[in-house]
A and B are shown apart, each in its own frame.
Chain A
Amino acid sequence: MISIITNHWQDLLYGLGQTLLCSILALFFSLIIGSFFAIFEVVPSKTLRIIARVYIEIFRNIPLLVITMFFYVVIPMFFVKVNGFTAGTIGLTIYTSAFIAETVRSGIQSVDPGQMEGSRANGMTFSQAMRYVVLPQAFRIVIPPLGNQFINLVKNSSVLAFVAGFDLMYQGNTIASTSFDTLNAYFVVGVLYLIITMPLSYYMRYLEKRLN
């Protein structure tokens, strides 16, 4: 195991960096996109609600790998060339955003409807009521399930390995096949994933405790 680390630490470090970068980008954008679609699902406008439903149902029910392949293989055939890292990150963002939308929507709907009514009766517009009153309460409620989504996201970033995204999983595959030391190669990769996900998991718990 030591030899895997000493011989391949540069590749592993690079993979860890790619996995981290992909995760941070996908987490950031999927949270924004997901929150928007969650709001679309509860707005008075029927058109927006339908758009949100269609988006969520499509991307929640297609394997992540298929979405990623679409961006890696299909899009370049008609539009622009997309490298593996970009295709994987876009795929992961879209896929996760559908789950985040559902999570945040359930949070919005578990906030007492009286909060929205009180805000509207107080003169606020729908978006002001959402922004200042409903969403802050909804996010507090959904921190634990959102934490699960974030952890899944980090692990799902291993989809990059299939599209030459040079992430941890990709490096693990390469090291395993060149060194023939599969056990230790994947063991080290597993530990490196834990190094990202464990602090994330603890941070979400801390956030949950602090807000209650």
Chain B
Amino acid sequence: MSMIEFHDVEKYYGKFHALHNINLTIEAGETVVLIGPSGSGKSTLIRTVNGLELINSGQLIVDGFDLADKKTDMNKIRKNVGMVFQHFNLYQNKTVLENIMIAPRIVLKRDETENKKVAMELLDRVGLADKAGSYPAQLSGGQSQRIAIARSLAMHPKCILFDEPTSALDPEMIDDVLNVMKDIARDSSMTMLVVTHEMGFAREVGDRVIFMADGRILEDDTKESFFDGQPTNERARQFLSKIIKH
């Protein structure tokens, strides 16, 4: 079954046409990397998937739920679709452990002992078990982002959306975060939609690369044909040559 399906989706911010006629299908277990210049609509697109932005027309089916239908309960979708933000958005008033445990506790009603066990295992997996009692303000950017990923994983989602997860990080922190993401991508059942400029990540674990500009999907390729062949689209070629040069 497809995890995410966009059919003729349009999105406006007032008069600004943010998403043009988006058609895109992402299968369960796929890792899809979304690239493109800033202002191209990548973030808007990824934010429509869990209903943080609403679409104006077309059809958007996520995990079997129709997001264009007003009767759809967004919280049901969000239980199964995690999100990792550029600026982490960790709960500033909660410890690291609480950041991970709170949603499973109040949303999934997970048993407290089980909840703590899951949280500690995840902290271990992202290499930050010693930070369980720290507050977000005491963490570096790279640590914060790894905690944010652990918080997302704690809900046992079917899909995680990554909205520029490494753009706000110091260069030496980026690898730690990417390694955690690669680790998740190796789990074949997890669907990942990643907005990023990290081409190394796209090359290594991406199944597909989507190139967007001006609110349109201009290229939708397997990573092999995108990186090793040449994108058919001129703008995508230009974008790629600029990114690869650096």
Residues of A bordering B, CB below 8 Å: 112, 114-115, 117-125, 128, 132-133, 136-137, 140
Contacts and interface: CB of A to CB of B under 8 A. Distances in A.
B149 interface: no
- The 4 lowest CB-CB distance pairs between A and B, nearest first, are A118-B89, A121-B83, A114-B89, A123-B107
Contacts, number: 64
27 contacts: A114-B87, A114-B88, A114-B89, A117-B52, A117-B85, A118-B85, A118-B88, A118-B91, A118-B148, A121-B50, A121-B52, A121-B85, A122-B152, A123-B75, A123-B78, A123-B79, A123-B107, A124-B75, A124-B103, A124-B106, A128-B106, A128-B107, A132-B102, A132-B106, A133-B94, A136-B93, A140-B93
Contacts of B88: 114, 118
Contact of A120 (B52, B87, B148): B52
A125 B50 CA distance: 13
Interface of B: 50, 52, 74-75, 78-79, 82-83, 85, 87-94, 102-103, 106-108, 148, 151-152, 155
Contact of A121 (B78, B87, B108): B78
Nearest to B92: A137
A133 B107 contact: no
A115 B106 contact: no
A124 B107 contact: yes
A119 to B, nearest CB: 7
A117 B93 CA distance: 15
Nearest to B78: A123
A133 B93 contact: yes
A115 B107 contact: no
B70 to A, nearest CB: 12
A140 B90 CA distance: 17
What is the predominant secondary structure among interface residues of chain A facing chain B?
helix
A85 B106 CA distance: 43
Contacts of B74: 120
A123 B103 contact: yes
A123 B152 CA distance: 10
Contact of B103 (A117, A122, A140): A122
B91 A121 contact: no
Nearest to B148: A118
Contacts of B93: 133, 136-137, 140
A3 to B, nearest CB: 54
Nearest to A133: B91
Nearest to A131: B106
B50 A115 contact: no
Contacts of B90: 118
A123 B89 contact: no
Contacts of B151: 122
Chain B CB count within 10 A is highest, among A118, A123, A125, A133, for A123
